[in-house]
A = this chain, B = another copy of it.
Amino acid sequence: MTDFQAVLNSIYQDAIHATDKGVVASYIPELAHVNKDNFAIQLRTATGKTFGVGDYNTPFSIQSISKVLALSKAMSLIGEDIWKRVDVEPSGHPFNQLALLEIENGIPRNPFINSGAIVIADILVSHLKNPKEDFLNYVRELAGDTNINYNIDVAKSEQSTGFKNFAAANLLKSFKNLNNPVHVVLDFYFYQCAIEMTCSQLSDTFYLFANNGKCLQNKLHITDRQVKRVNALMLTCGFYDEAGEFAFEVGLPGKSGVGGGIVALLPDHFVITTWSPGLNKKGNSKLGMQALEQFTTKTKQSIF
């Protein structure tokens, strides 16, 4: 049997001695002053064991990782109707997202590019009574942890600098693919992205996607088929313009965020979360990608 702790320790040693740790996202001051030397891996297995190394109890901004949680909540609210408003195909090319949106008449390529995530946020705003509060409670419930919170400074910072998201939301609105006012949807969206969690909390939260829709507390949130959909989307669209590379190097469904976090999972086996704030050129955590590649290579645990 694999000694997971030994594998994590070995990856950790490589990571802390890496000379190139990537570049910390700087478009928001709150993200920019995070220490690049933070590094963590945390693993939760389907058999209930947990392993960790490094700063896995330090919270960080989950950013785009939240898009997966928003999608699963939307699935539990309106099910298949989501796909009338968002497609499920990989897109690549973050640089011309708005062009794609124009060409495809306001239907975002998938729920993990920003325009798609904004449509999902619109759905949550429409169907949740107190969107911010209810969504946070959903995340807390998945994690079984009431200490999870929004970082309001980060949310406000995005609010005042996220012009490309405002452009996308207005374009969606012009195509009648946004039901609520732009500022209301984006206010929710920026909060959603500004949730802070530790690696441990993220592994716990994502456990339902490795456990057929049941969270750690054994409550069924989404169906088997919906879990399959989420995992297929993470595999094909979870890493901006590096999804193909990740599918090969790591071979797991996963999702990254510009805060430097990555969550990946093998259905029925485990959830693994890494955190290293330095990003590579495509916007994914440089050491996190490498750590996951090493993990699946060393443990031979991947979907292929």
- Enumerate chain A interface residues (CB-CB to B < 8 A): 87-92, 95-96, 98-99, 102-103, 109-110, 163-164, 166-171, 173-174, 182, 227-229, 231-233, 235-237, 241-245, 247-248, 251, 253, 267, 302-304
Contacts and interface: CB of A to CB of B under 8 A. Distances in A.
B163 A170 contact: yes
Contact of A89 (B229, B233, B245, B253): B245
A267 B304 contact: yes
For this chain, the copies found in one complex come to 4
A27 to B, nearest CB: 10
Contacts of A233: 244, 248
A220 to B, nearest CB: 17
Contact of A232 (B102, B244, B267): B244
Contacts of A302: 228
A235 B253 contact: no
20 contacts: A89-B90, A89-B241, A90-B90, A90-B92, A98-B102, A98-B171, A163-B171, A163-B174, A166-B182, A167-B167, A167-B169, A167-B170, A167-B174, A228-B251, A229-B248, A233-B244, A236-B236, A236-B247, A237-B244, A253-B304
Contacts of A253: 304
Given A102-B99, A244-B90, A228 B304 contact: yes
SS class of chain A's interface: helix, strand, loop or mixed? helix
Given A92-B90, A98-B102, A164-B171, A236 B244 contact: yes
A175 to B, nearest CB: 8
A243 to B, nearest CB: 6
Nearest to A103: B96
Given A87-B244, A89-B241, A303-B303, 11 more contacts: A89-B244, A89-B245, A90-B91, A91-B92, A98-B167, A99-B99, A166-B182, A167-B171, A228-B302, A232-B247, A236-B243
Q: Which of A102, A169, A267 is packed against the most chain B CB atoms within 10 Å?
A: A102
Contact of A98 (B90, B99, B227, B235): B99
A182 B170 CA distance: 12
A88 B227 CA distance: 26
A96 B98 CA distance: 9
A149 to B, nearest CB: 28
Contacts of A229: 248
Q: Which of A98, A171, A253 is packed against the most chain B CB atoms within 10 Å?
A: A98
A-B interface, 8 closest residue pairs, ranked by CB to CB distance from nearest? A99-B99, A90-B90, A232-B248, A167-B170, A163-B174, A166-B170, A303-B303, A163-B173
